[in-house]
């Protein structure tokens, strides 16, 4: 008689196999993106828009459904406003954009998890321009207003209360480009120029990806002078992994509407 397989927790080998399968699927998506981008390289005028759509499509398939992908401007309760942002990854579970017209949205900074700037050609001028836009956005995100739930014990009884919190956790920020010009013939040259640019004013960017060279360079958090990680090869895979990993420690709360709306008397 044939023995039934034992029920219970999967063996170590099965867990490894599952992990490899997930990585293989993510690698497949990255390779597919790379092939699509390579095929569309000659269409210079359209490639920025095409790159946005390809990256949005992959992120929409891989990020948890609490996130949505859009484009638009980001603003804060004290009326600071970002430049038009190519790709905005935002919380669409507890929050939502305030205005959406013709595919472009207005996002309270409290709702934004990450942004991606897309460039056709990344040179020193465009790199500086993108980093300046990112630093402006990080400044906007330094004062985010949320409402969390807590428990208050009063006269021996517990009741649920709303707690207002102000947090200083700006969105994660990335730059992606079809190609680069003047930033070096090798990844090492590119990383050295990126470090120098970041150290000029202690700027921060979570990662930079260059498609045609298959480069990805990420910045190590809380290190100055800037320390980078990354290498030549698997540029898009490393970009996707960085965005996916970052969302694991991104806390989602409802935004505090009182920070944005005029005060009214209670009925």
What is the structure's pLDDT at 238? 93
What is the structure's pLDDT at 205? 95
Q: Which residue would you say has higher pLDDT here, 53 or 205?
A: 205
- Percentage of the chain modeled with pLDDT above 90: 50
Q: Decide if pLDDT at 48 tops 90.
A: no
What is the structure's pLDDT at 101? 65
Q: Decide if pLDDT at 231 tops 50.
A: yes
Distance CA 15, CA 107 (A): 39
What is the structure's pLDDT at 49? 80
Mean pLDDT of 34-59: 78
Is the four-CA dihedral 17, 19, 24, 29 of positive or negative sign? positive
Mean pLDDT of 177-201: 94
Residue 153 lies in a domain: yes
What is the structure's pLDDT at 266? 52
Pairing label, strands 215-219, 228-232 = antiparallel
Residue 10 lies in a domain: no
Give the single-character DSSP code of 77.
T
Q: Decide if pLDDT at 232 tops 70.
A: yes
Residue 238 lies in a domain: yes
Residue 209 lies in a domain: yes
What is the structure's pLDDT at 103? 66
What is the structure's pLDDT at 263? 74
Q: Decide if pLDDT at 186 tops 80.
A: yes
Cα distances from 144 to residues 106, 122, 255, 260, in angstroms, run: 16, 31, 8, 11
Q: Decide if pLDDT at 3 tops 60.
A: no
Residue 175 lies in a domain: yes
Give me the phi and psi of 221, to 5 degrees please. -65, 145
Q: Decide if pLDDT at 267 tops 60.
A: no
For the chain, the domain total comes to: 1
Mean pLDDT of 66-92: 93
Tokens of 259: 């920070």
Top-ranked range on mean pLDDT: pick from 115-119, 155-159, 164-168, 199-203 = 115-119
Top-ranked range on mean pLDDT: pick from 4-13, 57-66, 181-190 = 181-190
Mean pLDDT of 88-96: 91
Distance CA 265, CA 263 (A): 7
What is the structure's pLDDT at 33? 87
Q: Decide if pLDDT at 38 tops 70.
A: yes
**By mean pLDDT, which of 27-41, 62-76, 102-116, 128-142 is the weakest?**
27-41
Distance CA 35, CA 27 (A): 12
Residue 240 lies in a domain: yes
Dmax over CA atoms of the chain, in Å, equals 78
What rounded mean pLDDT belongs to the chain? 86
Domain of 106?
A: 24-253
Distance CA 86, CA 107 (A): 13
What is the structure's pLDDT at 54? 87
Residue 106 lies in a domain: yes
Give the single-character DSSP code of 152.
E
Give the single-character DSSP code of 185.
S
Q: Decide if pLDDT at 13 tops 80.
A: no
Asked whether 208 and 230 are in contact (CB, 8 A), the reply is no
What is the structure's pLDDT at 42? 64
Distance CA 107, CA 88 (A): 9
Q: Decide if pLDDT at 264 tops 70.
A: no
Distance CA 189, CA 208 (A): 14
Residue 15 lies in a domain: no
């Amino acid at each position: 008689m044939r023995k039934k397989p034992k029920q219970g927790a999967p063996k170590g080998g099965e867990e490894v196999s599952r992990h490899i399968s997930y990585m293989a699927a993510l690698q497949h998506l990255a390779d597919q993106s790379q092939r699509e981008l390579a095929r569309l390289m000659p269409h210079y005028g359209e490639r920025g828009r095409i790159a946005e759509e390809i990256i949005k499509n992959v992120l929409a398939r891989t990020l948890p459904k609490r996130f949505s992908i859009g484009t638009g401007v980001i603003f804060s309760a004290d009326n600071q406003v970002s430049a038009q942002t190519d790709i905005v990854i935002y919380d669409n579970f507890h929050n939502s954009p305030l205005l959406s017209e013709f595919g472009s949205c207005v996002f309270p900074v409290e709702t934004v998890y990450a942004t991606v700037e897309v460039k056709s050609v990344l040179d020193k001028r465009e790199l500086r321009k993108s980093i300046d836009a990112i630093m402006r956005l990080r400044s906007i995100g330094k004062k985010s207003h949320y409402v969390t739930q807590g428990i208050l014990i009063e006269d021996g009884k517990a009741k649920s209360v709303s707690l207002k919190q102000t947090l200083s956790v700006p969105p994660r920020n990335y730059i992606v480009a079809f190609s680069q010009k003047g930033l070096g013939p090798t990844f090492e040259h590119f990383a050295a120029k990126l470090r120098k640019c970041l150290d000029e004013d202690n700027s921060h960017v979570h990662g930079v990806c260059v498609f045609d060279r298959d480069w990805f360079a990420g910045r190590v958090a809380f290190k100055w002078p800037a320390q980078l990680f990354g290498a030549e090869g698997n540029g898009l895979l490393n970009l996707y992994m960085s965005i996916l990993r970052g969302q694991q420690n991104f806390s989602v709360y409802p935004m505090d509407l009182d920070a944005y709306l005029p005060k009214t008397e209670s009925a």
